[in-house]
Amino acid sequence: MLTRTALSLALGALMSLSAWAQEAVPAPEVANFTLDNGLEVVVIPDRRAPIVTHMVWYKIGSADEPAGKSGIAHFLEHLMFKGTEKHPAGEMDSVIAEIGGYTNAFTSKDVTVYHQTVPPDYLDEMMDFEADRMRGLVLPEEVIAAERDVILEERNQRIEGSPQALLGEETAATLYQNHPYRIPTIGWMHEMEQLSREDALDFYHRFYAPNNAVLVVAGDVEPEAVRKLAEETYGKVERGPDLPPRVRPAEPRYDTARTVTLSDPRVGVPSFSTAWVTPSYRMAEPGEAEALDLLAEILGGGSRSRFYQEIVVKTGIASGVGASYDGGAYDPGSFTLYGMPQGERTLEEVQEAVSREVTRLIEDGVTAEELDAAKMRFVRGLIFARDEQSNMANIYGSRLANGGTVADISEWPDRIRAVTPEQVQAVAAKYLDPKIAVTGYLLPSENGAQ
């Protein structure tokens, strides 16, 4: 199943760690090791409940697809449930349903992930299932057409049926001029229709291997017991071919402001979003990504943000307004501002008000008190994120699968504490240049909703 939240997982993972920045709550004692076949393993003990989350993160996503084969990563995700010689299709789902567990999968631009939540006694069985299909997938020709119809219908429902999703696709295709992030994870319809068994198997054999994956186990477990189980299951899987570094096409220099407009009778209230390509945590200069996160919080991170106080509360121009930073991507991320009018106010008024606040911050900066308050809101808004076991598994899986390390995670609190007002002002001036922004407009059709 494709999840449109996958790109935000990496960002959310990094953000949720800010709960450790100013609260006296210790980080978990994480074990990290690598099997002989190259599989990296992370174990996060959490003994508050007798459950365990088991996740396999493949370092492969839609941005790694061959040209003309958009959607193949997501298509293969579906096909991975078709079984192996040892475990026929449906067996894993049946076992998990019988024990009251949960299983699913998702594909993003950078990763493909398979996960289960089960009682600890069944962890060895989940490892056996996942290790077996890591290299042993069986794909009879007769399952291909039916599953291709499934993903085509998924696109119809998720994308074609949503004006917001359609505009999002077109905006991304305009924002990224050369990088494959411009291509939708689910794929372009005309290319999805041509995906074949050979396409899926080629992608599978190339990228699905222990040395291109991260195993994360979080829950009521002991690290040494997990190591033993991992060696007995995943450790028997043959190492795959060594893969070259993940070097995708780079973006050119931006010279123009661009707009994308979609008018649709299904739209009731107009809205806009303005976006810029910005460095991700992996690519940013020291301190920049943290400053961008706090810039988003100060501008539009909630009810205490500048946007909300000035544009919603004081002037009543907007009914909704905000800012977000996607810093969890493997390659360049993005920074986005968005808003919609209230009552008789116009979209132009909202956009002008947002621009004024950005200009004011760039020219006047932020105070130390405002930044401290933003850090506190940032922490308190996410303090409970790590209380969910699956969130902790996502934190580590997303970071490690996108080029990070366990040390990056443990050092996060110190980095967020170190951000200065000057750094926030500097990243705003450096990246939020209206002359190179991409703005998307979602508008009602002239004849209104039908």
Checking 301-304 for CB contacts under 8 A at 24+ apart, the result is: 301/374, 301/377, 301/378, 301/381, 302/377, 302/381, 304/373, 304/377
Token couple for 377: 């809101």
What span, in angstroms and rounded, lies between the C-alpha atoms of 404 and 396? 9
CA distance linking residue 354 with residue 319, whole number of Å: 13
The catalytic position among 77, 297, 310, 357 is 77
Q: Is 99 helix (H, G, I), strand (E, B) or coil?
A: coil
What is the spatial distance between Cα 31 and Cα 176, in angstroms, rounded to a whole number? 37
Q: How big is the chain, counted in residues?
A: 450
Q: Tell me if 150 sits within 8 A of 2, measured CB to CB.
A: no
Cβ(395)–Cβ(16) below 8 Å: yes
Q: Which of the 8 DSSP states describes residue 244? A: P
Report the candidate in 386, 395, 388 with the shortest Cα–Cα distance to residue 328. Answer: 395
Q: Is 160 a catalytic residue?
A: no
Type and span of the H or E element at 349: helix 347-364
- In this structure, are strands 333-341 and 318-326 parallel, antiparallel, or unpaired? antiparallel
- State which amino acid sits at residue 297: E
Residue 66 is encoded by which pair of tokens? 């061959």
CA angle 301, 170, 154 (to 5 degrees): 90
CA distance 167 to 159: 9
From the list 190, 187, 159, the residue with the least C-alpha distance to 75 is: 187
E-strand spans in 231-356?
258-264, 271-278, 318-326, 333-341
Bridge partner list, 336: 275, 324
Positive or negative, the Cα torsion across 232, 233, 234, 236? positive
Q: What is the end-to-end Cα distance of the chain in Å, rounded?
A: 31
SS3 56: strand
Residues classed as catalytic: 77
